[in-house]
Amino acid sequence: MARLEGKVAIVTGAGSGIGRAAAIIFAREGAKVAVADYDEKNGRETASSISGAIFIKADVSKNSDAKKLVADTVKKFGKLDVLFNNAGIVRWGNAVDTKEEDWNRVIDVNLKGAFLCSKYAIPEMIKAGRGSIINTASIAGLVAFGGIAAYCASKGGLIQLTRSMALDFAPKNIRVNAICPGIIKTAMTKDILNNKEMMQSMLKSTVIGRLGEPEDIAYAALYLASDESSFVTGTTLAVDGGWTIQ
Ligand code: NAP
């Protein structure tokens, strides 16, 4: 049997990178998938490549969009089993030179977005009698990186939100876990990886000797979404090629 047979999943940030790979893999494993992104062109492109998927335009940082995302998914597919809170952005700057608007946007998308989508998803999961929420945090939530203060804070916060929600909703059979990707080849890291020196430095810290592909994270999300992980909640799974070993 396919690993997500009969499940309904929302994947945010599914227009690109990790989210797109997860939407494709979830569907291949039998899930009905709602592809959510605020980039309409990319989101529609992902959805059109997946049989039976729907695209829902949503800015996860907006309360009304998060509410509508969950409502439209349930209206179309009848229930909700899996929420992959994956949408995220990065803005450069240390605590002194980060503009307040950049701080707010990063926290709004990366942390508040996961809160809002979960806020509306959890009551539907309670109705269904089960659920799995997966949050894409980062190794930047586990160790500090220079020059991305807001991003590090947002991902550290997301790890604690994961644990808090896991504790609150375990009695309702809802599991909540976080994945901490290392350096993955996506649009988010394109500029860094185009810089030879930066690329070499990223590769050096990734002890396994290669950078990650979006599918490396999508397969971890697949495990956490599936019933194979039914005894796993509140955990933070580093999928980082060994970055955080040393
Ligand atoms: P990506 O290719 O840029 O994908 C992120 C997607 O999220 C994009 O389609 C983006 O749209 C969308 N998005 C941004 N803000 C949104 C919002 N407010 N509402 C809905 N969708 C929104 O990057 P990725 O690398 O796959 O990132 C996915 C997640 O992994 C993020 O949470 C990121 O922080 C995390 N992560 C990535 C890495 C890495 O090395 N790539 C490492 C650790 C963690 P636009 O393209 O229009 O912005």
CA of 54 to the centre of ligand 1 (A): 19
> Ligand 1: residues whose CB is within 6 Å?
12-13, 15-19, 37-39, 42, 58-61, 86-89, 109, 113, 136, 138, 181, 183-184, 186-189
User: Which pLDDT score is estimated for 1?
Assistant: 87
- pLDDT, position 179: 99
Q: Is 38 a catalytic residue?
A: no
Residue 188 CB neighbour total at 10 angstroms: 18
Distance of CA 72 to the CA centre of its chain: 20
Degrees, nearest 5: CA angle 103-107-111: 170
Q: What does the pLDDT read at residue 30?
A: 98
Cα distances from 71 to residues 67, 82, 113, 239, in angstroms, run: 6, 14, 16, 31
Task: Quote the pLDDT of residue 41.
Answer: 98
Cα(140)–Cα(147) distance, rounded to whole angstroms? 11
Å from CA of 189 to ligand 1 middle = 10
Coil vs helix vs strand at 133 = strand
pLDDT tens track, the chain, 246 positions: 899 999 999 999 999 999 999 999 999 999 999 999 999 999 999 999 999 999 999 999 999 999 999 999 999 999 999 999 999 999 999 999 999 999 999 999 999 999 999 999 999 999 999 999 999 999 999 999 999 999 999 999 999 999 999 999 999 999 999 999 999 999 999 999 999 999 999 999 999 999 999 999 999 999 999 999 999 999 999 999 999 999
CB 87 within 8 A of CB 108: no
Question: Do strands 82-85 and 54-57 pair parallel, antiparallel, or not at all (unpaired)?
Answer: unpaired
157 CB-side CA count, 13 A: 16
Q: Which of 75, 81, 164, 76 is nearest to 129 (CA)?
A: 81
- Per-domain residue ranges for the chain? 8-245
The tokens of 150 are what?
Answer: 């807001």
Contact 236, 162 (CB under 8 A): yes
Rounded to the nearest whole angstrom, what is the distance from the C-alpha of residue 57 to the centroid of ligand 1? 15
Q: According to the model, what pLDDT value does residue 202 have?
A: 96
pLDDT of the residue at 36 = 99
Q: What is the dihedral of CA 148, 154, 159, 160, to 10 degrees?
A: 130
Return phi, psi of residue 36, to 5°: -115, 135
Q: What is the DSSP string of 169-217?
A: HGGGTEEEEEEEE-SB-SGGGHHHHHSHHHHHHHHHH-TTSSPBPHHHH
Rounded to the nearest 10 degrees, what angle do helices 149-169 and 113-128 cross at? 20
Cα first-last separation, the chain: 39
Say what the pLDDT of residue 40 is: 98
pTM of this structure = 0.99
**Would you state the structure tokens that stand for residue 91, as one six-digit string?**
């803005």
**Which tokens belong to 193?**
């990886």
- CATH class of the domain whose range is 8-245: alpha beta
Nearest CA, atom 18, ligand 1: 59
Check residue 33 and report its DSSP letter.
Answer: E
